[in-house]
Amino acid sequence: MTFWESLLNNEILVSAIVGWTVAQVLKTLIECWMNRSFSPERLVGSGGMPSSHSATVCALTISAALRNGVESSTFAISFVLAAVVMYDAIGVRQETGKQAKLLNMIMEQDFFKLDNEQFQKRLKEFVGHTPLQVLAGAVLGIIIAALVHRCYG
């Protein structure tokens, strides 16, 4: 079996990758529909609806449970990782985004206009998630893990 065949036979890894990919595509389509413009950065960027981080770790966790059982160390590790990632997305990273938005507003004031090119760049505001975005990502990840598991039968 080749390296690539081995990777594709790994149901847990495939679930996580598909979870991330589907969430990123949905996030891009939703933003495109809401803003009436396409932003290629959304395909790989963080923040937005649904949370691709949550979709990834929930697909990983549920896939580990379906494949190896909830008593497995794979599930335990995945569960703890998912809890940390989703907590961080709602808490720390959402606050970082709020601070970036405020700093961008301050830097746009005439008093703070700086000549240095580094300071003229806007800070990234879409880094965290609302609880609804995290929940949507989690539900998406669970559904994807179940679908992938059916495919691997």
Q: What is the pTM of this model?
A: 0.77
One-letter amino acid of 8: L
Over the stretch 60-109, which tens digit does the pLDDT of each residue have?
999 999 999 999 999 999 999 999 999 888 876 666 666 666 666 666 66
Over the stretch 120-145, which tens digit does the pLDDT of each residue have?
555 555 556 788 999 999 999 999 99
Q: Which tokens in the block code for residue 57?
A: 């770790």
Per-residue buried b or exposed e for 66-104, using 16+ beta carbons within 10 Å of the residue's own CB: bbbeeeeebbeebbeebeebbeebbeebbebbeebeeee
Calpha distance 63→143 (Å, rounded): 10
Mean pLDDT of the chain: 85
Q: How many Cβ atoms are within 10 Å of 108's Cβ, its own excluded?
A: 10
By the 8 A CB rule, do 50 and 23 touch? yes
